[in-house]
A and B are shown apart, each in its own frame.
Chain A
Amino acid sequence: MSRLWSFLTATRGRDRLHWTDWVSYGYLIFGVLLMFGPVVWLVLSSFKSPNELDRFPPRFLPYAQETLEIEGFDSPLLAFIVTEGELTGEVVGQTRRAAGRAEVVLPADPETRIRIPANTLAPIEDVAFATENYTSLFERFNFLQFFWNSTFITVMATALMLLVNSMAAFVLSKYEFRGRTAVLLLVIGTLMIPQTVVLVPLFLIVTEMGMFNSLWGVIIPGAATPTGVFLLRQYMITIPDEILDAARMDKASEWKIFWRIIVPLSAPAIAVLAILAIMWRWNDFLWPLIVLTRTENFTLQLALNSFQGELQTDWPSLLAMTVLTLLPIACVFMFLQKYIATGIASTGGK
């Protein structure tokens, strides 16, 4: 027991790796496999052809059978290598296959059709990334519409949220006025009212405002967040009042002070909030599920969810769509990883 704890609690490394270090690295590498593995598997699978996806047991990389362009045939023939009989080792193109027998031709001699048992043929395969799953998304589904809906909601909601929340945070951090404590308490109060517990009345209000089945019905109700107000306020408090006083001496209007001084100086906090907002909105599910019921209004998340029900077996399209849905977030993650980590640690999530 005590060894286990020494392994868990030691903080200083030694010159040589202690066995506890090996266990630690082992755990971490297992973690890498467990966390990244499923995503890698998803991406690889999305590049497999439908035939390859049906294959059990599955293979790690996507493969596709090679084809031969042979003179005299309009379309390329599937390539096989012969494993038994006279032609052993020869590469042939298959023209027909029926009842356990295959009709093949040699590339060098396209005129002669040879009949051999089908079980002596082994397919020639090579790693090939099939992109049909992706291209069919654009042909068969209204993918661009879903993508646009998601993007529109994310961009508008983030912009609106940043503006509204930073205005409130400015006043709550820089003004002394009657009722400030009351407003702060009110903002804290909204922490206790997550959307999940007011779904029914929220639905009524949004419907009455004519925003049912409208993207605005998703954008507006979430525009004011207690988390955003607090995050920005904490940061704005640290901006010295002298700067504001100097600006007032120069007859700057309050709006100009907010826009020209406070907002640029709080850029780091605003950036953190922007990233969080983009993440929340892009991934949002329950509220859009209630407000957006027509397919043309679906966000990517809703489309993904509805297609897995409708097309239980259409994994090829579903996999490609899943990859495209996680792509923007993966990009955000790669470039802004540090901000996200600090942002989430300082706000405690949503």
Chain B
Amino acid sequence: MLRIITPVMRVIEIPMLALQRLLGINRLAWVFLAPNLILFGLFAFLPVILNIFYATTGSDNVLLSDRPYVGARNFVTLTDCGNYLDANSCREDKFWRAVWNTLWFVTLQVGFMVGFALLTALILNRDIRARGFFRSVFFFPVLLSPVVVALIWKWILQREGVLNAFLDWTGVGGVNWLVQADWAFGWSVFISVWAHMGFYTLILLAGLQAIPRDVYEAAIMDRASAWRTFRRITLPLLAPTMLVVLVLALIKGVQTFDEIYAFTGGGPGTATTFIIQYIYEEGFAGAPRLFGLAAAASLLVAGVLVVLTLIQLWVNRRNVNG
């Protein structure tokens, strides 16, 4: 490794030294920052601005110069609904189905995931033998790629899969899991919890272990019941970590795409189509490519994410300060 890296670094040193002589140390800072800032500019900030242009123009051309200005028409198309609670009454019914699916999904997924992560963290925080082993067992699926997670479970859940074999054996009888909308949705929530729970367990466990032992010892001296100790000590002291976990889980939940797309392809019908898949399909998978609608929908998602991220930053800051 070093044999490749060292010569490269030596070569970079020549222009960097020249620049240092030319600009002085303080202005050299910008040279160090330049690659990062250029990348951020090109691939993060510029796209945000362009997104607004895309959202306000029509047609299926990629080049902005070929796209006629349509004002707020894309947003109107997206939000033209007789009744927002009923996707069928909307002009862009697929969008609203995706929105409602995403809301349901995020609620269930975040609820179950944080609940089980907390339970697991509390158990791992007890005086458990082989804690390291158990912790890594729960963490292991976090590393698997979304497609691999989807295929592992698809293989188990397929019509002649091992789960149906087991159900046949017990006499309950198999179900065609991924063909029935409700089951497909339920399993989507399940595999998502399965794949990501370990990550939040880890954060919550770190939070639990940061609670000083002597607080608990004081509680024992005062003969506080276990329930009271949990309510009055563990829960309040864990609250900041819980908040971090909740917000992070929400941010990621809203962006769910990969594993469910590989798992169900959004189906059956649109039962497991979420908002990012809607954007992907409008903009890239279908023909004509409706970049305007995709961009308008992205802006709506971005709005939600900005609010969530601001909450996250505020929570982090409060935790650090205090």
B is bound to A:
yes
Q: In B30-44, which residues have CB < 8 Å from any A CB?
A: 30, 32-33, 35-37, 39-40, 42-44
| 8 Å CB interface, A17-37 against B | 21, 24-25, 27-28, 31-32, 34-36
* Chain B residues closer than 8 Å to A175, beta-carbon distance: 25-26, 29
Chain B contacts for A337, CB-based, 8 A: 136
Complex CA gap A225/B146 in Å reads 21
Contact stretch, chosen from A65-73, A121-129, A140-148, A255-263: A255-263
Closest residue of A by beta carbon distance from B262 = A305
Decide if B298 touches A200 in the complex (CB within 8 Å).
yes
Give the A-B contact count at a CB cut-off of 8 A: 299
Residue in A5, A171, A253 whose CB lies within 8 Å of B226? A5
Interface of A is mostly: helix
Interface membership of B257, Cβ < 8 A: yes
Kindly list chain A residues whose C-beta atoms are within 8 Å of the C-beta of B30.
177
A54 CA / B159 CA spacing, docked (Å): 11
B298 pairs with A197, CB closer than 8 A:
yes
Cα separation A8 to B126 with both chains bound (whole Å): 8
Q: Are A285 and B128 in contact (CB under 8 A)?
A: no
- Kindly state whether residue A187 has any CB partner on chain B within 8 Å: yes
B135 touches A341 (CB 8 A): yes
Are the CB atoms of B126 and A11 closer together than 8 Å?
yes
Tell me the bound Cα distance from A126 to B306 in angstroms: 59
Report which of A57, A199, A207 forms a contact with B298, defined as CB distance below 8 A. A199
For the complex, is B104 an interface residue (Cβ under 8 Å from A)? no
- Are the CB atoms of A199 and B229 closer together than 8 Å? no
Identify which of A76-84, A93-101, A106-114, A317-325 touches chain B.
A317-325
Q: Report B-chain residues with C-beta under 8 Å of the C-beta of A290.
A: 280, 284
Which of B45-53, B93-101, B180-188 lines the interface with chain A? B45-53
Q: Is A267 engaged at the interface, CB distance under 8 Å to the other chain?
A: no
* Distance of A139 from chain B, by nearest CB (Å): 21
- The 0/1 profile, CB within 8 Å of B marked 1, for residues 7-19 of chain A is 1111111000000
CA A108 – CA B120 in complex, angstroms?
62
Which residues of A lie under 8 Å from residue B141 when comparing CB positions?
Answer: 35
* Closest Cβ–Cβ distance, residue B170 to chain A (whole Å): 11
Mark interface residues in B150-169 (1 if CB within 8 Å of A CB, else 0).
01111110001110010011
- Asked if A304 is at the interface (CB within 8 A of a chain B CB), the reply is yes
Chain A residues with Cβ below 8 Å from B134 are 28, 31-32
Pick from A38, A175, A220, A221 the residue with the most CB of B within 10 Å. A38
Cβ B151 vs Cβ A304 within 8 A: yes
Inter-chain contacts of B168 with A (CB < 8 A): 57
Question: Does A202 make an interface contact (CB < 8 A)?
Answer: yes
Instruction: Please determine whether B162 and A285 come into contact, CB atoms closer than 8 angstroms.
Output: no
The residue of chain A having its C-beta at the shortest distance from the C-beta of B290 within the complex is A200
Min C-beta distance of A99 to chain B, whole Å:
27
Determine if B302 is an interface residue (Cβ-Cβ < 8 Å): yes
| CB 8 Å contact bits of B74-105 with A (1 = contact, 0 = none) | 00000000000000000000000000000000
CA distance A39 to B141 in the complex (A): 9
A213, CB-defined interface residue at 8 Å: no
The 10 closest A-B pairs by CB, nearest first: A6-B226, A13-B127, A201-B50, A57-B165, A198-B47, A283-B145, A224-B39, A201-B47, A255-B16, A168-B36
Pull 29 A–B residue pairs with CB atoms less than 8 Å apart, ordered by A: A2-B225, A5-B230, A9-B229, A11-B213, A28-B123, A35-B137, A42-B152, A56-B160, A167-B36, A168-B33, A175-B29, A186-B40, A190-B44, A192-B306, A196-B276, A200-B54, A201-B50, A201-B295, A202-B47, A204-B50, A254-B32, A283-B143, A283-B145, A308-B151, A308-B154, A326-B145, A329-B143, A332-B143, A349-B199
